[in-house]
């Protein structure tokens, strides 16, 4: 069992999600069958980390987003700057700014991460991260979905359940070569199609129905009116698009349609 002694919220979240994993996998299998995809049960792993731990894994896992990008694109460079990063204002601000969330990192970075953690004299939470990584059962091709939470309640559990399913849907599609970013290299917003697809199918998990166009459009308008950027509203805009396309076809045609969209 993973040592969660430092973080009760993470322990509760891990346990609650753990008991739902069979249900999540039944759903993923249903999606795989519908879209003609292979479901490899062994690549779907996850852990629950504190915010600090998640930021650190993102940092060394090569996350290209802010604030990590200011510390170099190259992982070797970041590795050298790790201690400075942890002691920086960037790190402190990022950790207090983020309440909860998730990301996907290849388990292939685990040896590097653990070597970094072992080489530095760092606070106690770093040791606990080292142990948590040890307990993840998976090979290098596996991806760890990292969820971080600072509190555990009904609302966060529901959000994190949907988030885990969303990230696992990305893995399902990507591990089957369904990745719009790779097929549309000249279109810098192609990744939003990958997000839209996962967001639409995630909505099926949450609502129990496939036709989620109205829900997606409502979210799109709601966020737009709040001033959210296209990189955020796009999830729902594209989600509505996928819902419309697929729900106008019989399910027997979904597998072919998905492959067709990638060409
Ligand atoms: Zn990041
Ligand atoms: Zn996503």
Compute the average pLDDT of residues 73-88: 86
pLDDT at 156 over 80: yes
pLDDT at 10 over 70: yes
Q: How far is the CA of 216 from the centre of ligand 2 (A)?
A: 15
- Report the pLDDT value the prediction gives residue 249, as an integer from 0 to 100: 98
pLDDT band at 72 (very low <50, low <70, confident <90, very high): confident
Q: What is the percent of the chain with per-residue pLDDT over 90, rounded to a whole number?
A: 44
Number of the ligand closest to the Cα of 94: 1
Q: How far is the CA of 239 from the centre of ligand 1 (A)?
A: 24
- Report the pLDDT value the prediction gives residue 242, as an integer from 0 to 100: 98
Q: How far is the CA of 118 from the centre of ligand 2 (A)?
A: 31
What H or E segment, with its residue span, contains residue 100? none
Number of the ligand closest to the Cα of 57: 1
How far is it, in rounded angstroms, from Cα 172 to Cα 38?
Answer: 8
- Report the pLDDT value the prediction gives residue 197, as an integer from 0 to 100: 98
Compute the average pLDDT of residues 168-172: 93
Q: What is the percent of the chain with per-residue pLDDT over 70, rounded to a whole number?
A: 93
Q: What is the pLDDT of residues 212-224, one digit of tens each?
A: 999 999 999 999 9
Which pairs from 162-166 meet CB under 8 Å and 24+ separation? 162/202, 162/205, 162/206, 163/101, 163/102, 164/17, 164/24, 164/46, 164/102, 165/24, 165/27, 165/28, 165/202, 165/205, 166/102, 166/198, 166/199, 166/202
Q: What is the pLDDT of residues 82-128, one digit of tens each?
A: 888 888 988 888 887 666 678 888 888 888 888 887 777 666 666 77
Q: How far is the CA of 33 from the centre of ligand 1 (A)?
A: 33
pLDDT at 80 over 70: yes
- Report the pLDDT value the prediction gives residue 95, as an integer from 0 to 100: 80
- Report the pLDDT value the prediction gives residue 124, as an integer from 0 to 100: 66
- Report the pLDDT value the prediction gives residue 69, as an integer from 0 to 100: 78
Q: How far is the CA of 193 from the centre of ligand 2 (A)?
A: 10
Strands 143-148, 101-106: parallel, antiparallel or unpaired by DSSP? antiparallel
CB neighbours of 209 closer than 8 A, spacing ≥ 6?
A: none
Number of the ligand closest to the Cα of 85: 1
Structure tokens given for 1: 């069992």
pLDDT band at 194 (very low <50, low <70, confident <90, very high): very high
The sign of the torsion formed by the CA atoms of 122, 124, 129, 132 equals: positive
- Report the pLDDT value the prediction gives residue 60, as an integer from 0 to 100: 86
- Report the pLDDT value the prediction gives residue 147, as an integer from 0 to 100: 81
- Report the pLDDT value the prediction gives residue 33, as an integer from 0 to 100: 97
- Report the pLDDT value the prediction gives residue 5, as an integer from 0 to 100: 60
pLDDT at 13 over 80: yes
Q: Which residues are in the CB-under-5-Å shell of ion ligand 1?
A: 58, 63, 65, 68
Q: Are 148 and 51 in contact (CB under 8 A)?
A: yes
At residue 207, what are phi and psi to the nearest 5 degrees?
-100, -20
Q: Are 113 and 127 in contact (CB under 8 A)?
A: no
How far is it, in rounded angstroms, from Cα 214 to Cα 87?
Answer: 46
Q: How far is the CA of 119 from the centre of ligand 2 (A)?
A: 33
- Report the pLDDT value the prediction gives residue 63, as an integer from 0 to 100: 77
Q: How far is the CA of 204 from the centre of ligand 2 (A)?
A: 15
What ipTM goes with this model?
Answer: 0.59
Q: What is the pLDDT of residues 25-56, one digit of tens each?
A: 999 999 999 999 999 988 888 888 888 888 88
**Angle formed by the axes of helices 51-61 and 110-119, nearest 10°:** 110
Q: How far is the CA of 111 from the centre of ligand 1 (A)?
A: 19
């Amino acid at each position: 069992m993973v040592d969660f002694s430092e973080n009760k919220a993470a322990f509760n979240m891990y346990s609650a999600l753990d008991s739902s994993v069979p249900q999540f996998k039944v759903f993923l299998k249903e999606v795989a069958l519908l879209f003609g995809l292979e479901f490899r049960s062994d690549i779907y792993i996850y852990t629950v980390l504190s915010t600090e731990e998640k930021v650190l894994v993102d940092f060394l896992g090569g996350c290209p987003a802010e604030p990590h990008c200011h510390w170099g694109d190259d992982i070797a460079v970041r590795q050298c700057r790790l201690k400075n990063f942890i002691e920086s204002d960037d790190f402190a601000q990022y950790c207090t700014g983020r309440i909860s969330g998730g990301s996907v990192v290849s388990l292939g970075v685990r040896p590097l991460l653990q070597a970094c953690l072992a080489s530095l004299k760092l606070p106690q939470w770093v040791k606990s991260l080292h142990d948590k990584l040890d307990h993840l059962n998976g090979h290098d091709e596996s991806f760890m979905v990292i969820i971080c939470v600072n509190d555990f309640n009904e609302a966060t559990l529901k959000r994190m359940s949907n988030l885990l399913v969303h990230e696992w849907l990305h893995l399902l599609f990507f591990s089957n070569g369904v990745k719009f970013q790779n097929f549309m290299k000249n279109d810098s917003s192609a990744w939003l199609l990958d997000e839209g697809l996962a967001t639409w199918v995630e909505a099926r998990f949450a609502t129990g129905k496939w036709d989620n166009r109205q829900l997606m459009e409502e979210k799109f308008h709601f966020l737009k009116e709040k001033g959210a950027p296209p990189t955020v509203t796009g999830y729902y805009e594209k989600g509505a698009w996928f819902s419309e396309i697929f729900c106008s076809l019989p399910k027997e045609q979904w597998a072919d349609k998905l492959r067709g969209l990638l060409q």
